Amino acid sequence: MSRSLAIFGATGTIGDNALNLVDQHPERFHVSVLSAHRNTEKLAVLARQYAPDILVIGTPDGRKDLLQKLPDFKGDILIGEAGLLQAARYKVDVAVMAIVGFAGLAPSMVCAEQGSMLALANKEALVAAGPLLMRTAGQNKTQILPVDSEHNAIYQLLQLQTEETSHKSIEKIVLTASGGPFRQHTLAEMATVTPAQAVAHPNWDMGAKISVDSATLMNKGLELIEARYLFDIEPARLDVLVHPQSIVHGLVYFNDGSVLAQKGCPDMRVPLAYCMAYPERIASGVATLDLAAQGRLDFEAADRERFACLALAEAAMQADGDAPCVLNAANEMAVAAFLDGQIGFTDIGDVVDAVLQDHDVGGVDSLEAIVATDARARQVAEQKIKRVR
């Protein structure tokens, strides 16, 4: 039976990789929903190629543009957040959530209510509202499969557990980090790097926001929080290991001294294939990992002094409640300001720190409360950014 897919954020790199897998396995998958924020050009091309039932685009003008480009399109073209939420209710076998940032939270919550599979590539939803999202998925028997390569690695490793070796035998879970393009930069050198340098990631081909997050190591901090909720593991048992080659993605340490590690070439089609075909495995088109050619794998401790964002994320994870939501909102604002040339690279951590300092930690009780907390944190971040500028 062919699986129906919804791909939210279809015009980004995760969308490209998911659709590449569809192309490789046309008998296995068909596309029912495609969404894009504003890239009508590419969405129109994808609509012609995959003939989905539903398209979602950010604005009414975008819809007009799509109607012009697709005079013969038979499906619905929905608009904005309301359109996204409506599309998230459409019955599919697997929803791939690849919308970037906090905007992915509300549609992820709706997907979590559907009782099917949610292949989650958006990490901010778990960071901002982890307990709420996991509870909603659990209550509705929705299976959340992590697309994020490190979490996908850990998810695979935890599948090897039996009832006898469950959670209590896990000593710690470790996520690897490439270290980003500035792994060997001094703080002084980092202060002057440009957005173009920050988005040039050594191993992974990704969007601008996540590339900057990888350069500050905020990405790894967000991933620790993501893992904390996804795997229900306390902060003290989560750690980061810098591994420049990005071959080992995650490690699980057991109390008997055994350490399991998942490896693979750094290509998002590996974790996506796992999620989209779960529980089966399918070919991803990625070259076989050649460890002899690779020759060596290096590891080093993460430096929290040069990479203040990692320490800030760990502090927010420790504080729990809505602190991760505030961290995420401040970071999204600071990264946007950096990409826009308004603040420097090392100012990103300073802005996030200042916003967190201003915040009194509260709970994560409802989506409405989280949306309000996010909005407040963005306002405070805006003021802090003005002060730096």
Measured at the CA of 267, the angle between CA 210 and CA 260, to 5 degrees, comes to 95
Give the number of residues in contact with Mg ion, rule: CB under 5 A: 3
Q: Do the Cβ atoms of 220 and 177 come closer than 8 Å? A: yes
Residue type for position 25: H
For residue 223, the minimal CB distance to Mg ion (Å) is 6
Nearer Cβ to Mg ion (36/222): 222
Strand partners, 78: 56
For residue 229, the minimal CB distance to Mg ion (Å) is 15
For residue 271, the minimal CB distance to Mg ion (Å) is 9
For residue 43, the minimal CB distance to Mg ion (Å) is 25
Nearer Cβ to Mg ion (114/149): 149
Distance CA 263, CA 24 (A): 22
For residue 151, the minimal CB distance to Mg ion (Å) is 7
Nearer Cβ to Mg ion (117/227): 227
Residue nearest to Mg ion (CB): 148
Distance CA 303, CA 185 (A): 11
In this structure, what DSSP letter does residue 12 have?
S
Tokens read off for 137: 């998925």
Query: Is residue 369 classed as helix, strand or coil in its secondary structure?
Result: helix
Q: What is the largest CA-CA distance in the chain?
A: 63
Tokens read off for 198: 């920050």
Nearer Cβ to Mg ion (150/350): 150
For residue 176, the minimal CB distance to Mg ion (Å) is 9
Q: Do the Cβ atoms of 97 and 111 come closer than 8 Å? A: yes
Q: How far is CA 322 from CA 5, 79, 113, 385, in A?
A: 32, 30, 22, 21
Nearer Cβ to Mg ion (148/374): 148
For residue 305, the minimal CB distance to Mg ion (Å) is 23
Q: Is 124 in the site for Mg ion (CB under 5 A)?
A: no
Q: How far is CA 357 from CA 27, 34, 176, 224, 326, in A?
A: 53, 40, 28, 20, 10
For the purposes of burial, counting CB atoms within 10 Å of the CB of 74, is it exposed (0-12), middle (13-18) or buried (19 or more)?
exposed
Distance CA 36, CA 369 (A): 26
Nearer Cβ to Mg ion (15/83): 15
Nearer Cβ to Mg ion (148/314): 148
Nearer Cβ to Mg ion (218/326): 218
- Residues 138-167 touching Mg ion, rule: CB under 5 A, are 148-150
For residue 177, the minimal CB distance to Mg ion (Å) is 9
What lies within 8 Å, CB to CB, of 210 at 6+ separation is: 100, 219
Nearer Cβ to Mg ion (150/332): 150
For residue 138, the minimal CB distance to Mg ion (Å) is 23
What lies within 8 Å, CB to CB, of 154 at 6+ separation is: 146, 173, 175, 227, 231, 250, 252, 262
Distance CA 191, CA 214 (A): 16
Residues lying near Mg ion in the complex (CB under 5 A) are found at: 148-150
